[in-house]
C-alpha cells in the first residue's frame, strides 16, 4: 500500500520502510526547497489548530507553500464555529469538502482518530491532547538520521514530562519501530510514562525500555541523544503539576556525565528546563530539529497527496521502492470497533466523552497486552481501558459475562457488528478509576 490518501493518526500508522521513504523524499525536497513549486499546485491544505502552535502549524504551512499549494487555516479554534458549539465531527465533515488534506491539533485524545473516521481526505494528527504527535516524531527521527547517519542501534534518553508529553509517546514508538534503544528518564516520579505506552512497546515491538534516574547516583547511559521536554502544565489538574524543573545547563550535563557527543534534542517550546546558554554548543540540535520540520512535512504532504510520484518516475532515484510500492503498516488498522449499549468512554479528556452527542462510542480489543488478565477493551479514540459487564453474541443470542473465559474468544473472533457490549452498573465508579490508574505514575520496576 502506498502513502497516497492515508491518514496519519499515530506513529503506528507508518512502518520503518515508509518512514525511510519520507526521509529520502525530505532529503530531496529539502536540498532544493524552491524547486518544487509545481508539485501541489491547485491543492488546498486545511490547518485546524484548537491548541496553540508555532512550529507545527507554520512548518506545515511553509511546506505546503514550498510545494506550490495553498493553505486554509484556523489558527485559533476559539475563532471558529467551535465557539458557537459546533462539534469537531461537523467541522471535519465541512472542511473535508474544502481541502485535499487536513492537519488537526485538538485538546481531546482521539480527536484525530475521529476526524480520520469522518474525512474523505487525509487527516494528519498534529497533536491530540496528551496522546500522540506523529509528525514531530518524523522530525525527531529525521534529525537523528541526519546527525548520526542512522537510527537503528542508537540509544536515546527521554527526559522531562513522559506522562503527558505526546511527543515522547510518539517518539518512543518511532524509536521502537526503527530499532533504536529507549531509556526513560522522567524528571520527577509524577512525570513517568503511562502504562498503556509501556504495554504497547512490549506488545507490538517486544521492547522493554531502560530507565535512568537523574541525580540518582547511576552513571548516565552511553547515549547518542538526550531528548528533553517541558512539563505539560496545561494537562495537569489545578495545582497537581510538579514544581518547575531546574534548568539543564552545562553544569547539570557535566554532573550527570552527559558526553559532548550526545545530541541535545527538544521538540520546543522550552519553558525554563533548557538553558539558552547551551544554544551555541554543537551538540545542541534543537533548532536544526525545528528547521527539519519543513522538508519532512513537504515530503509527507507530497506523498499523502500523491504528487511525488511523477518526480519519482522521472528519475529521483533514491529508494528502490516507488512510493506506491511501500508496504502497509505492520499491524492491521484498528477496525471500527464494537458497539456498546449504554457505555461511554469514562475518560474526561477523550473526544468520545466530550462529544458524546456526536460520536458513536466504539471499543476495540487491542492486539497487545492484557489477554493474560482477561479481555481489556480500549476506547477506539483515546485507547484507554474500559470495563464492561459482558457482551451479547448477536449470532447465537447468548450472553457472556465478564469473567467468562468464552468472552475473550467471542471478542477475538467476532466481527464488530456481531457483538453488543453491555455497560457495567452505572453506580459502579471503577471505570473512571481504571482510566485514571492507567495514567498513574509508574516506577522503574513496573
Ligand atoms: C510540542 C507539542 O505541541 O506537543 N510542540 C511541538 O509541536 N513542537 C511540545 C510541547 O508543546 O511541549
For cell 471535519, what's the residue?
92
Integer Cα distance of 100 and 265 in angstroms:
32
Residue 445: what pLDDT?
37
Integer Cα distance of 134 and 51 in angstroms:
16
Residue-wise pLDDT tens digits, 9-36 = 999 999 999 999 999 999 999 999 999 9
167: Cβ below 6 Å to ligand 1?
yes
pTM of the model: 0.89
Residue-wise pLDDT tens digits, 101-115 = 999 999 999 999 999
Residue 342: what pLDDT?
85
Residue 309: what pLDDT?
73
Helix 111-118, helix 88-95: angle, nearest 10: 40
For cell 486545511, what's the residue?
46
Q: Is the peptide bond before 5 cis (omega within 30 degrees of 0)?
A: no
Is it the case that residue 432 has pLDDT exceeding 70?
A: no
Low-confidence winner among 237-251, 272-286, 328-342, 401-415 (lowest mean pLDDT): 328-342
What is the H or E stretch that residue 301 is in?
A: helix 293-305
Integer Cα distance of 359 and 90 in angstroms:
10
170: Cβ below 6 Å to ligand 1?
no
Q: Is the CB of residue 392 less than 8 Å from the CB of residue 399? A: yes
295: Cβ below 6 Å to ligand 1?
no
Residues 6+ apart with CB under 8 A from 208: 201, 202
Tell me the domain boundaries of the chain. Answer: 11-129+291-313, 135-286, 339-439
What letters, b where the CB count within 10 A reaches 16 and e where it falls short, cover 298-333? bbbbbbbbbbbbebbeeebeebebebeebebeeeee
131: Cβ below 6 Å to ligand 1?
no
136: Cβ below 6 Å to ligand 1?
yes
Residue by residue, DSSP assigns 173-230 as HHHHHTT-EEEEEESSGGGPPPHHHHHHHHHHH----EE--TTSSSPPP--SEEE---
* Span from the CA of 127 to the centroid of ligand 1 (angstroms): 8
The pLDDT mean for the chain works out to 89
The Cα diameter of the chain in Å comes to: 69
Mean pLDDT of the region 289-298: 98
* Span from the CA of 349 to the centroid of ligand 1 (angstroms): 18
Count other Cβ atoms within 10 Å, centred on residue 344.
16
56: Cβ below 6 Å to ligand 1?
yes
Residue 425: what pLDDT?
80
Is there a common fold for 11-129+291-313 and 135-286? yes
Does residue 310 or residue 211 have the better pLDDT? 211
Does residue 336 or residue 268 have the better pLDDT? 268
- 379 secondary structure, DSSP code: E
Does residue 439 or residue 340 have the better pLDDT? 340
Mean pLDDT of the region 121-129: 98
Reported as a pLDDT band with limits 50, 70 and 90, residue 316 is: low
Residue 331: what pLDDT?
33
Mean pLDDT of the region 381-404: 92
Report which of 370, 339, 334, 371 is spatially closest to residue 352, judged by C-alpha positions.
339
Ligand 1 atom closest to Cα of 267? 8
Residue whose CA is at the smallest distance from ligand 1 atom 8: 267
Dihedral class, residue 110 (left if φ above 0, else alpha if ψ from -120 to 50, else beta):
left
Right CATH for 11-129+291-313 from 3.40.50.80, 3.40.50.1370, 3.10.20.340, 3.40.640.10: 3.40.50.1370
Chain-centroid distance of CA 44 in Å reads 24
Residue-wise pLDDT tens digits, 358-377 = 899 999 987 644 444 556 78
Residue by residue, DSSP assigns 129-154 as TTS--HHHHHHHHHHHHHHHS--TT-
* Span from the CA of 131 to the centroid of ligand 1 (angstroms): 12
- 372 secondary structure, DSSP code: G
Integer Cα distance of 367 and 43 in angstroms:
37
Q: Residues of the chain with pLDDT > 90: what percent? A: 73
Is it the case that residue 175 has pLDDT exceeding 90?
A: yes
Q: Is the CB of residue 199 less than 8 Å from the CB of residue 371? A: no
Residue of 61, 163, 269 to test ligand 1 pocket, by largest number of atoms within 8 Å of CB: 269
Integer Cα distance of 284 and 288 in angstroms:
9
Does residue 169 or residue 356 have the better pLDDT? 169
What is the H or E stretch that residue 168 is in?
A: helix 166-177
Q: Is the CB of residue 45 less than 8 Å from the CB of residue 99? A: yes
Q: Is the CB of residue 159 less than 8 Å from the CB of residue 228? A: yes
181-186 and 210-211 as β-strands: parallel, antiparallel, unpaired? parallel
Residue-wise pLDDT tens digits, 53-91 = 999 999 999 999 999 999 999 999 988 989 899 999 999
Residue by residue, DSSP assigns 254-291 as HHHT--TTSEEE--S---SSB-GGGTTSTTB-HHHHHH
263-265 and 225-227 as β-strands: parallel, antiparallel, unpaired? parallel
Does residue 412 or residue 41 have the better pLDDT? 41
Residue 370: what pLDDT?
44
Question: What CATH number should be reported for the domain whose range is 135-286?
Answer: 3.40.50.1370
Amino acid at each position: 500500500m502506498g502513502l497516497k490518501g492515508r491518514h496519519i493518526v499515530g506513529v503506528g500508522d507508518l512502518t520503518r520502510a515508509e518512514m525511510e521513504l519520507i526521509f529520502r523524499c525530505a532529503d530531496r525536497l529539502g536540498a532544493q526547497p524552491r524547486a518544487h513549486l509545481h508539485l501541489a499546485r491547485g491543492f488546498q491544505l486545511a490547518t485546524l489548530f484548537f491548541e496553540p502552535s508555532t512550529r507545527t502549524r507554520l512548518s506545515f504551512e511553509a511546506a505546503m507553500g514550498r510545494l506550490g499549494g495553498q493553505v486554509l487555516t484556523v489558527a485559533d479554534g476559539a475563532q471558529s464555529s467551535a465557539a458557537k458549539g459546533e462539534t469537531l465531527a461537523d467541522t471535519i465533515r465541512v472542511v473535508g469538502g474544502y481541502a485535499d488534506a487536513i492537519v488537526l491539533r485538538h485538546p481531546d485524545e482521539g480527536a484525530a482518530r475521529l476526524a480520520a473516521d469522518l474525512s474523505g481526505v487525509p487527516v494528519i494528527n498534529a497533536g491530540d491532547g496528551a496522546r500522540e504527535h506523529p509528525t514531530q516524531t518524523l522530525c525527531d527521527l529525521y534529525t537523528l538520521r541526519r546527525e548520526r547517519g542512522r537510527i537503528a542501534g542508537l540509544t536515546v534518553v527521554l527526559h522531562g514530562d513522559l506522562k503527558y508529553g505526546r511527543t515522547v509517546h510518539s517518539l518512543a514508538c518511532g524509536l521502537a519501530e526503527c530499532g533504536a534503544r529507549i531509556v526513560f528518564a522522567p524528571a520527577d516520579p509524577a512525570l513517568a510514562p503511562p502504562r498503556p505506552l509501556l504495554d504497547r512497546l512490549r506488545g507490538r515491538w517486544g521492547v522493554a525500555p531502560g530507565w535512568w534516574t537523574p541525580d540518582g547516583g547511576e552513571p548516565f547511559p552511553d547515549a547518542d541523544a538526550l531528548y528533553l521536554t517541558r512539563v505539560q502544565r496545561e494537562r495537569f489538574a489545578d495545582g497537581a503539576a510538579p514544581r518547575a524543573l531546574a534548568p539543564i545547563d552545562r553544569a547539570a550535563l557535566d554532573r550527570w556525565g552527559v558526553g559532548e557527543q550526545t545530541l541535545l534534542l527538544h521538540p520546543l517550546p522550552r519553558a525554563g528546563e533548557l538553558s539558552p546558554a547551551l544554544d551555541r554548543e554543537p551538540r545542541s540540535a534543537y533548532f536544526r530539529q525545528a528547521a527539519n520540520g519543513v522538508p519532512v512535512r513537504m515530503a509527507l504532504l507530497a506523498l499523502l497527496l500523491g504528487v511525488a510520484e511523477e518526480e519519482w518516475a522521472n528519475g529521483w532515484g533514491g529508494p528502490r521502492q516507488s512510493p506506491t510500492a511501500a508496504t502497509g503498516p505492520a499491524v492491521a488498522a484498528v477496525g471500527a470497533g464494537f458497539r456498546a449499549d449504554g457505555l461511554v468512554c469514562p475518560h474526561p479528556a477523550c473526544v468520545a466523552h466530550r462529544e458524546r452527542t456526536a460520536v458513536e462510542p466504539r471499543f476495540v480489543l487491542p492486539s497487545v497486552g492484557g489477554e493474560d488478565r482477561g479481555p481489556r477493551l480500549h476506547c477506539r479514540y483515546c485507547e484507554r481501558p474500559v470495563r464492561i459487564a459482558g457482551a451479547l453474541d448477536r449470532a447465537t443470542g447468548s450472553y457472556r459475562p465478564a469473567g467468562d473465559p468464552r468472552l475473550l474468544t467471542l471478542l477475538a473472533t467476532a466481527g464488530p457488528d456481531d457483538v453488543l457490549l453491555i455497560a457495567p452498573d452505572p453506580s459502579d465508579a471503577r471505570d473512571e478509576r481504571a482510566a485514571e490508574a492507567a495514567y498513574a505514575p509508574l516506577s522503574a520496576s513496573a
